[in-house]
Amino acid sequence: MPEGLQLAVGNRVVYPNQGVCLVTAIDVKEVAGQKLTFVTMRREEDGAVVMVPQAKVTAIGVRKVASAEEVSEIYSFLRSDSDKADLDWKQRARTNVDRMTQGGILGLAEVVKGLQVLSELRPLPTKERELYDNARHLLVSEVAAALNIPEVNAEDSVDLVLFPPGRERPKRTAAEFKPRGEGDEEDLGLDGSLLGLDGDLELPPDEEEAPAEEEEAGGEEGSEEEGDEEAPAASKKAAKAEPSEEGAEGEAPKRKRGRPPKPKPEGEAAAAPAVPKKRGRPPKPKPEGEAAAPAAPKKRGRPPKKKPEGETE
Amino acid sequence: MIRVVTLDSYDDKQLAKFSRTLYTAFGVGSEHSGQFELPAGLPEPLDAEKVLDAVKGIRAYKDDKVLYLTSRKLKDRELPSGTAPTNGFARFGKDKAIITSHGYKDLEVGYKPVARHALHQLGHLWELHHCLDPRCSMYPPWTPSFAAGEATFCTFCREKSEQKIRLAKS
């Protein structure tokens, strides 16, 4: 028996992602020649029975039903005006799965609260709506078991905190969830891993500077070309760009994201413009002798019948 | 099958309309199964849980859901996190629920909110939890916008209720 969780017949436990179960038996069974102690649990909701080897009870995450004090802590957590919602869906899904399996009753409350706050920003997608419903179901059944009250009362007690009477839920905007002190990189909605890609690349010092110079040069060339070809349009663009440039004075020039452009090869090959490749099968080489005379076009269909010689005369 | 049992007198036409609304919402047959008298000695406002236990003798099959309708006030419930305004009560996943039309002169006047409360409590009988969508009847019933909404479900709650009904044994 692992330390910290002593189970006995008649105990009420919570099986992660399954709900409140009652320990109905602890007995020794022989499986594949080994004698193992199994804990038999019956789910209170529908009577489903599960048997778990006693050595794996803790690893699975089986725990005792929360106490009344823990439930009151849950109420105060749910009552708190949280503005934390992870806008990165991948990170959010990962965190929520961990909370559901290993977070205990507080984890369930965190999932419910987090998704409820997120739903004030936008409607939840189907998967998360299902997750919200599962988390709510597990939370309600555990609160009902902990306080020994009907499930409807347990749900109402949770929702009295989440949806206080006489008040409508606030509408939230994405700006409220934005962490403070972050730049405009967040506006692109890029993943944290993608943003950190540039910093993780370890390039030799000579290669690090080269792309930046090329980019600058490329940028200037581009602007000059635009200036030559579209003078009026460019002047309008410049007029529009002026305020932003003034505002950005003193700031470091923005780095371009993505892979740096390949260095251009020096020499003749670089000077001569490359012939654009034609797609498809290359044309067949023409025979030299007959190539000069154009071939008569083939007539389609059956060749005409030869007229009998007698008739012609 | 949804069986509406009245504990006070109501207009038959209104009850027929009420049953039609329930049928539309759940896709299950619904009928008025008669009027029953509350046992004497129950103090007002009524304790919803006690009423569900007190009323007996209603004929229903195993998967039938019985909805009591009364015009008397129901007592607000004292819960661990506060007092819950009570316009109805249901046993989660079981077969009996009660709603009240108290506060409205008759069913005609308060038809919309009463029907919405009915859907809400019947939804609890089919194991629906509270919903996040204010337009859904499973939205918490003590919110100000609840009474103004239509007696309908959101897509998620409707599909879930349909699934539960489909899985019913009979």
CATH of the domain at B135: 3.40.390.10
Q: Do B142 and A163 touch (CB under 8 A)?
A: yes
The alpha carbon dihedral of B1, B91, A109, A142 has a sign of negative
- In the structure encoding, which two tokens stand for residue B112, read together? 């919309």
- Smallest CA–CA distance, residue A114 to chain B, in Å, is 13
Calculate the alpha carbon distances from A75 to A66, A113, A156 in Å. Answer: 13, 11, 12
Q: Do B133 and A123 touch (CB under 8 A)?
A: yes
The alpha carbon dihedral of A190, A195, A197, A203 has a sign of positive
Work out the pLDDT band at A266, boundaries 50, 70, 90: low
Region label for B34, one of left (φ > 0), alpha (ψ between -120 and 50) or beta (otherwise): left
Work out the pLDDT band at B5, boundaries 50, 70, 90: very high
* pTM, full prediction: 0.70
Closest alpha carbon to A241 in A256, A226, A255: A226
Task: Name which of A129, A136, A157 is nearest B81 (Cβ-Cβ).
Answer: A157
Task: Assign A39 to helix, strand or coil.
Answer: strand
- Distance, CA of A70 to CA of A72 (rounded, Å): 5
- Distance, CA of B11 to CA of A97 (rounded, Å): 52
Task: Assign A306 to helix, strand or coil.
Answer: coil
* Residue A109 reports pLDDT greater than 60: yes
Closest alpha carbon to A119 in A108, A107, A131: A131
Interval A185-198: pLDDT, tens: 444 444 444 444 44
Strands B2-6 and A49-53: unpaired
**B66 and B5 Cβ atoms separated by less than 8 Å:** yes
β-bridge mates for residue A97, sequence order: none
Interval B111-130: pLDDT, tens: 999 999 999 999 999 999 99
What ipTM was predicted for this assembly?
Answer: 0.91
**Proportion of chain B in helix, strand, coil states, percent, rounded to 5:** 30, 20, 50
pLDDT, residue A305, reads 74
| Terminal Cα distance for chain A, rounded | 118
Work out the pLDDT band at A225, boundaries 50, 70, 90: very low
**In the predicted model, what is the mean pLDDT of residues B17-40?**
90
pLDDT, residue A11, reads 92
Q: Domain span at residue B8?
A: 2-166
Q: Which of A125-139, A219-233, B89-103 has the lowest mean pLDDT?
A: A219-233
Class of domain A12-64: mainly beta
Into how many domains does chain B fold?
A: 1
Name the DSSP letter for residue B44: S
**B19 and B4 Cβ atoms separated by less than 8 Å:** yes
* Residue B31 reports pLDDT greater than 80: yes
pLDDT, residue A280, reads 76
Report DSSP letters for B23-36, one per residue.
HHHHSS-EEEEEE-
Domain segments of chain A as ranges: 12-64, 68-176
Which residue type occupies B90? Answer: A
Calculate the alpha carbon distances from A229 to A223, A239, B72 in Å. Answer: 10, 17, 82
**In the predicted model, what is the mean pLDDT of residues B10-31?**
92
Name the DSSP letter for residue A44: T
Per CB distance under 8 Å, which residues of A are interface residues toward B?
A: 71-72, 75, 116, 119, 123-124, 126, 129-130, 132-133, 136-137, 140, 147, 149-153, 155-163, 165-169
- In the structure encoding, which two tokens stand for residue B154, read together? 């959101």
**In the predicted model, what is the mean pLDDT of residues A156-184?**
75
Task: Assign A134 to helix, strand or coil.
Answer: helix
* Mean residue pLDDT across chain A: 73
Interval B56-106: pLDDT, tens: 878 888 889 999 999 999 999 999 998 999 999 999 999 999 999 998 888
- Chain B hits for A159, Cβ within 8 Å: 130, 140
What is A68-176's CATH number, 3.40.50.2300, 1.20.58.1290, 1.10.240.10, 2.30.40.10?
Answer: 1.20.58.1290
**In the predicted model, what is the mean pLDDT of residues B159-169?**
88
* Residue B107 reports pLDDT greater than 90: no
A41 or A221, which is more confident? A41
Name the DSSP letter for residue B154: -
Work out the pLDDT band at B42, boundaries 50, 70, 90: confident
Instruction: Read off φ and ψ for residue A268, nearest 5 degrees.
Output: -70, -40
The interface residues of chain B toward chain A in range 38-67, judged by CB-CB distance below 8 A, are 49
- Chain B hits for A169, Cβ within 8 Å: 134, 143
Residues sharing a CB contact under 8 Å with residue B138, sequence separation 6 or more, in sequence order: B119, B120, B123, B128, B129, B130, B131, B153, B154, B157
